[in-house]
Amino acid sequence: MSNVLVIDVGTQSMRGIIFDDSGNLLVKEQIKYQPYLAKENGFMEQTADMYWQVLCTITKAIADKYPSLMQQVIALSVDTFRDTAVLMDENNNVLRDLILWSDQRTADTSQPMSGKQRFLFKLAGVTRTINAIRGKVKTRWVQQHEPELWSKVRKVAHISAWLNYKITGNLLDSYASTIGHVPFDHKRKKYLSEKDIQFGVYDLPLSMMVPLCAPGDVMGTVSRECASQTGLPAGLKVIASGSDKGCETLGVGCVERNVASVSLGTSSTVQFSTKKYFEPEPFMPAYPSVLKEYYNPEVQIFRGYWMISWFKQNFARHLEKRAAETGKSVEEIMNAEIESIPAGSDGLILQPFWQAGLTSPEAKGAIIGFSDYHTRAHVYRAIIEGIDFALREGMERMEKRGKQHIDFVAISGGGSQSDLICQIAADIFNKPVKRVQTYETSGLGAAIVAFTACGVFGNEHDAIKHMVHYTDTFVPSPTSVAVYDGIYRNVYLKLYKKLQSFYKYMEKE
């Protein structure tokens, strides 16, 4: 039996986990941190050094508490959240705090693109989407608002590349981690050419991009300097994996065409694994999978289960005292409160666009159907149901575009720890929902990549057979399915178009 160590870097916490080759979680050290530093409303930043210091603390704790296990580890892999760039100077020093993926600032896009670009994007009907993408390029915002600092930038790397650089001394990244606002060709799994029509969307020269490798490649080894800071064994192989969502999809065993991976995390997503490249929405790429021959088409609800944190902060602070007294989490208490509320939240319906998507850039959140009998618990259940309605819509759209049928859903993320939330998902999707043996599915996926790279398994199917085990299945309830299907088809699917003109008006105000 062999072991690997995974560093799983999330938006709200970081985990160091040792897995064995049977998929058993042997060791876990976790540190929760302040998710972001907000200089202004909507600004979400964090220091790069915070992530490095947390990583060092976690690995030192594992080395101190479990020295024999640490010495038995055959490889290390790091998976991180996406779309967060590190700006570095000519000596690879970090120049400013990181602008996180959830940051809501937008760059000025009044400077027009070339006439050819404008014509082709208009012809494809994606002008609004392209302008939304241009506005979300945070490096463009830095260029516009911090020109003196930008003049010193020589490299733009994702946080995954920077952390691997700190560990190995080699500045490179897995193409399966290259998910963000940089000039990257997701289909060809390499950077765009300067001749590509999309290249100008990002205003980033190729000289600023870091070299890429494939998931499963050896990125280097733990340097002596890193070993002294982290307690990691010097010379330990570092294996490239990919983004947290891509690793989650592998970690729940989503490889075949009949299974969808649903993540109920800070950002909620539905992903497929497919060898055929297809765009989940027009002009929205399928991401390279952590499996070399695969892609992960995805539909994302940008704030997803972050909305639970938002709800707790604004409407459930009074439950913290009861949580402390009972030893339960606030989420467990809230979940118990909604067990008696029927499917459909007694007519309360939520559209979960607390942060708009690229294909619906004017969208905002909405709740309809309020009556005097609705309570705080009804709103909480409506949030859960609304996220699932949005994910179902995305899944059905991808089924149609990919010409594949989903038989069951493999679920992960914080929300998946609740049996009730898993059952609601089964009822809304009208498909069995399966849960694997561990909540740490991002780490498990990265571990699968590392074990396969080290030759412990011959391929991903062999690795999944040994390491991914479905332990719980939630079967749709016909009564609840009928209620949810009626709401979904007759209300939810029509809601956005009915409200779109209002959203556009409010966007101008």
Confidence (pLDDT) at 102: 87
* Domain presence at residue 202: no
Closest Cα to residue 343, out of 493, 491, 478, 495? 478
pLDDT at residue 262 greater than cutoff 80:
yes
**CATH code for the domain in which residue 190 is found:** 3.30.420.40
Pairing of strands 3-9, 73-80: parallel
Give the three-class secondary structure for 29: strand
Measured in whole angstroms, the distance separating CA 475 from the mean position of its chain's CA atoms is: 26
Q: Give the separation between CA 5 and CA 20, rounded to whole angstroms.
A: 9
pLDDT at residue 508 greater than cutoff 70:
no
Reported as type and span, the H/E element at residue 266 is none
Confidence (pLDDT) at 226: 98
Both 218 and 261 in one domain: the answer is no
Closest Cα to residue 226, out of 172, 171, 163, 168? 168
Confidence of residue 478 (pLDDT cuts 50, 70, 90): very high
Most confident range, picked from 250-254, 283-287, 323-327: 250-254
Mean pLDDT of all residues belonging to the chain:
93
Both 479 and 381 in one domain: the answer is yes
Confidence of residue 358 (pLDDT cuts 50, 70, 90): low
Confidence (pLDDT) at 113: 83
Both 476 and 427 in one domain: the answer is yes
Confirm if 339 and 381 have CB atoms less than 8 A apart. Answer: no
Both 381 and 312 in one domain: the answer is yes
Confidence of residue 246 (pLDDT cuts 50, 70, 90): very high
Both 282 and 226 in one domain: the answer is no
Beta-bridge partners for 116: none
Which residue would you say has higher pLDDT here, 110 or 31?
31
For the stretch 195-234, what's the b/e string if a residue is b when 16 or more beta carbons lie within 10 angstroms of its beta carbon?
A: eeebbbbbbbeeebbbebbebbbebbbbbeebbebbbbee
Range of the domain at 70: 3-103+155-196+209-239
Both 300 and 366 in one domain: the answer is yes
Q: Which residue matches tokens 């000519």?
A: 90
SS3 content of the chain, % helix, strand, coil (to 5): 40, 20, 40
Q: Give the separation between CA 210 and CA 191, rounded to whole angstroms.
A: 10
* Helices then strands, each counted (H, E), the chain: 18, 24
Q: Give the separation between CA 299 and CA 281, rounded to whole angstroms.
A: 8
Both 232 and 355 in one domain: the answer is no
pLDDT at residue 294 greater than cutoff 60:
yes
For residue range 403-455, list pLDDT tens digits in order: 999 999 999 988 999 999 999 999 999 999 999 999 999 999 999 999 999 99
Beta-bridge partners for 29: 16
Reported as type and span, the H/E element at residue 202 is none
Confirm if 421 and 415 have CB atoms less than 8 A apart. Answer: yes
CA end-to-end span of the chain, whole Å?
Answer: 62
Both 332 and 442 in one domain: the answer is yes
Reported as type and span, the H/E element at residue 470 is strand 470-474
Both 173 and 314 in one domain: the answer is no
For residue range 6-16, list pLDDT tens digits in order: 999 998 899 99
Average pLDDT over residues 105-112: 90
pLDDT at residue 68 greater than cutoff 80:
yes
**Comparing 99-108, 278-287, 384-393, which segment has the lowest mean pLDDT?**
278-287
Both 229 and 263 in one domain: the answer is no
Confidence (pLDDT) at 500: 84
The set of residues, in sequence order, having a beta carbon less than 8 Å from that of 400 and lying 6+ positions away, is none
**Comparing 74-83, 129-138, 269-278, which segment has the lowest mean pLDDT?**
129-138
Angle between helices 330-338 and 306-315 (to 10 degrees): 90
Q: Give the separation between CA 59 and CA 52, rounded to whole angstroms.
A: 11
Widest Cα–Cα separation across the chain: 65
Determine whether 94 is exposed, middle or buried from the number of CB atoms within 10 Å of its CB (0-12, 13-18, 19+): middle
Q: Give the separation between CA 230 and CA 57, rounded to whole angstroms.
A: 7
Closest Cα to residue 189, out of 119, 265, 262, 246? 246
Confidence (pLDDT) at 356: 63
* Domain presence at residue 161: yes
Residue positions counted in the chain:
509
* Domain presence at residue 440: yes
- Output the CA angle 403-404-406, nearest 5 degrees: 150
3-state secondary structure 94-136: ECCCEECCCCCCCCCCCCCCCHHHHHHHHHCCCHHHHHHHHHH
Pairing of strands 13-20, 268-271: unpaired
Confirm if 132 and 358 have CB atoms less than 8 A apart. Answer: yes
Phi, psi of 183 (to 5 degrees): -75, 80
Average pLDDT over residues 248-256: 96
Q: Give the separation between CA 144 and CA 198, rounded to whole angstroms.
A: 20
Task: Give the total number of structural domains in the chain.
Answer: 2
Q: Is the pTM of this model over 0.85?
A: yes
* Domain presence at residue 148: no
Both 173 and 288 in one domain: the answer is no
> Which amino acid is located at 187 in the chain?
K
Give the Cβ contact number of residue 149 at 10 Å.
14
Confidence of residue 267 (pLDDT cuts 50, 70, 90): confident
Confidence (pLDDT) at 361: 66
For the stretch 111-121, what's the b/e string if a residue is b when 16 or more beta carbons lie within 10 angstroms of its beta carbon?
A: eebeeebeebb
Q: Which residue matches tokens 């009972």?
A: 326
* Domain presence at residue 487: yes
- Residues 281/416/265/396 CA torsion (nearest 10 deg): 10
Phi, psi of 184 (to 5 degrees): -120, 135
* Domain presence at residue 36: yes
Confidence (pLDDT) at 229: 98
Both 228 and 301 in one domain: the answer is no
* Domain presence at residue 126: no
Confidence (pLDDT) at 186: 96
* Domain presence at residue 288: yes
Average pLDDT over residues 28-55: 91
Measured in whole angstroms, the distance separating CA 493 from the mean position of its chain's CA atoms is: 24
Confidence of residue 507 (pLDDT cuts 50, 70, 90): confident
Q: Which residue matches tokens 């779109």?
A: 500
Confidence of residue 357 (pLDDT cuts 50, 70, 90): low
